[in-house]
Amino acid sequence: MELELINRTRQQQLETLNMHMKESHRRWMERQSQQQELRKARQLTNNELKSEFLEVMNWNQNLAKQYKTNQQQHVKLTNSFYMAVGQLQCTRIEMCAGEQLLALSARAQRHASIDERRSRAAIELQTVQLEAKLDATGCIIRAIHRLSGQRMIRQTDKPLPIQFVP
């Protein structure tokens, strides 16, 4: 009987221990599943952030390329403008100052891209500013022609065709 009592006590202890182990294992499994879910959520967030970062980097690179292209176009337009000014200064042309201004603007506009055409207002402002300088230049050229005895630059109300005199 004593032996039976000891066996029952041990059996109860084993059952209690087994129950505690099962409960401990169940809690451990719950923690593992929660950690797995957290890892998946973090991985999704990391992937989203990584794709967003790559998208922003690509956008930044495109902006840098556009900026560089716009800078090159600006330099090209500026150079063509000053080349046109140089051609007008180096060549004798029979036209009034307004016609010179129109020819100069036309030459500069040939090289303008779509972006520069959008900023046409700025070019028109420069055109108005250049008109005063070209009027003064036209007066100087007419005075030189008068003093040197050469044929004067004709001035008419309607525009004359551009004629280059070699």
Contacts of residue 111, Cβ cutoff 8 Å, sequence gap at least 6: 76, 77, 80
Number of domains in the chain: 1
Q: Assess if residue 130 is contained within a domain.
A: yes
Q: Assess if residue 166 is contained within a domain.
A: no
Does residue 46 have a pLDDT over 80? yes
Among 156, 145, 159, 165, residue whose Cα is nearest residue 100: 159
Please give the residue range of the domain that contains residue 129: 2-155
As a whole-number percent, the residues of the chain with pLDDT over 70 amount to 51
**Overall pTM > 0.95:** no
pLDDT of residue 77: 81
Q: Assess if residue 106 is contained within a domain.
A: yes
- The C-alpha atoms of residue 41 and residue 48 are separated, in whole angstroms, by 11
